[in-house]
Amino acid sequence: MKYIVTDMDRRHSHHASFNYMLEFSKSVWHCTGVLDFDRARRWMNRTYGWSQEVDTRIAIKRSNAVLQDADINLHWAYSTVYKDYRIYLKGNEELAFFQLAHVQSNS
């Protein structure tokens, strides 16, 4: 599996909610980025439960609705904007667990 880990800071739009971003770029690895993203997202669903697309998550948080604990997944979210496929992770534990389960391939 190929992915790029980005340690997010104030330059990144979702840095207030997430510390890390995993990027699975279709433009860099052709079709394998899409497949790796899909596999990673399915693993996240099994491991941390279902989550929203990051912009939908923000809209839910901004609404005046009373949120339940299950309405927002604090561990992760994803984005499929343009040709970039991204998974946002809350912290070190989520990143370490993902990296243990998904070793980077060199080829």
pLDDT digits (tens, 9 = 90+) for 43-91: 999 999 999 999 888 888 777 666 666 778 889 999 988 778 999 999 9
Q: Look at residue 47 and tell me if it is in a domain.
A: yes
Which among 98, 95, 40, 49 has a CA at the least distance from the CA of 74? 49
Q: Is residue 93 part of a domain?
A: yes
Q: Is residue 97 in a domain?
A: yes
Per DSSP, 98 falls in state: H
Who wins on pLDDT, 92 or 34? 92
Q: Which domain holds residue 17?
A: 4-101
Q: Please tell me the total count of domains within the chain.
A: 1
In a domain, 106, yes or no: no
Confidence of residue 12 (pLDDT cuts 50, 70, 90): confident
Residue at 21 is within a domain: yes
Q: Confirm whether 107 is domain-assigned.
A: no
pLDDT higher than 70, residue 19: yes
Can you give the pLDDT at residue 68? 64
